[in-house]
Amino acid sequence: MIRFRPARSGLAPAAIVMALALLPLSAARRASAAGSRAVEISAWSMGAFSHFIGLRQYAVTAGFPLPEFRLAGAVFHSQWTATAGHLNRSGDQGTFVSGGARVFYLPGWKVAGLPVFLEGGESPTLMDRRHYGGKDFGSDIEFISHLTAGFRFGSGDAGSAGLRIQHMSNASISSTNPGVNMIGLQVSYRFGN
């Protein structure tokens, strides 16, 4: 298996993640200038509230639109996503990459005059390590499921901010599968139409 190892200083992994964000951001700006469909860049910061207490996660995602679909009168907007992130617990630091889907995105409601949304997704994830602060994820392969509720703002509702809740576990592909539940903030900006 291919292993990638981040630098062990506190700022280096976060700097690497932020640098990786510039690659899809550059592509997003070019797509926007060319008038193609919207590309959305998201970033989030989260903390564990079960099992791996003290685990922090920082990540950036580029979302590329998939065809919308309708079900029971609702229009669902989905995306293919590519993510790079950083995990830290008790000084143990590592990185992860994932590719998956924002399975649904439901806009169209207003609360206190603000446009709100609900989204959810699933992403298979590859981590460079499985032990953090004496706890074992059980596998280098994990799956992240998330649900985000938030509001949109800015010109054409291009920006968004929301509360993200996620579960990360290896779906029992290993006999050790503690899983971790996390909560945090997600911000996004959509480039293009």
On whether residue 3 sits in a domain, the answer given is no
Question: CATH number of the domain that 77 lies in?
Answer: 2.40.160.20
- Check whether 19 has a pLDDT greater than 60: no
> pLDDT value at position 37?
61
On whether residue 178 sits in a domain, the answer given is yes
Domain span at 18 = 11-191
> pLDDT value at position 38?
81
> pLDDT value at position 104?
81
> pLDDT value at position 21?
46
- Enter the tokens of residue 128: 């460079």
- Check whether 6 has a pLDDT greater than 60: no
On whether residue 113 sits in a domain, the answer given is yes
Mean pLDDT on 12-27: 47
On whether residue 111 sits in a domain, the answer given is yes
On whether residue 4 sits in a domain, the answer given is no
The pTM for the full model equals 0.79
> pLDDT value at position 9?
43
The count of domains in the chain is 1
On whether residue 173 sits in a domain, the answer given is yes
On whether residue 168 sits in a domain, the answer given is yes
On whether residue 164 sits in a domain, the answer given is yes
> pLDDT value at position 25?
47
- Check whether 15 has a pLDDT greater than 80: no
> pLDDT value at position 136?
94
Segment 175-193, tens digit of pLDDT: 999 999 999 999 999 987 6
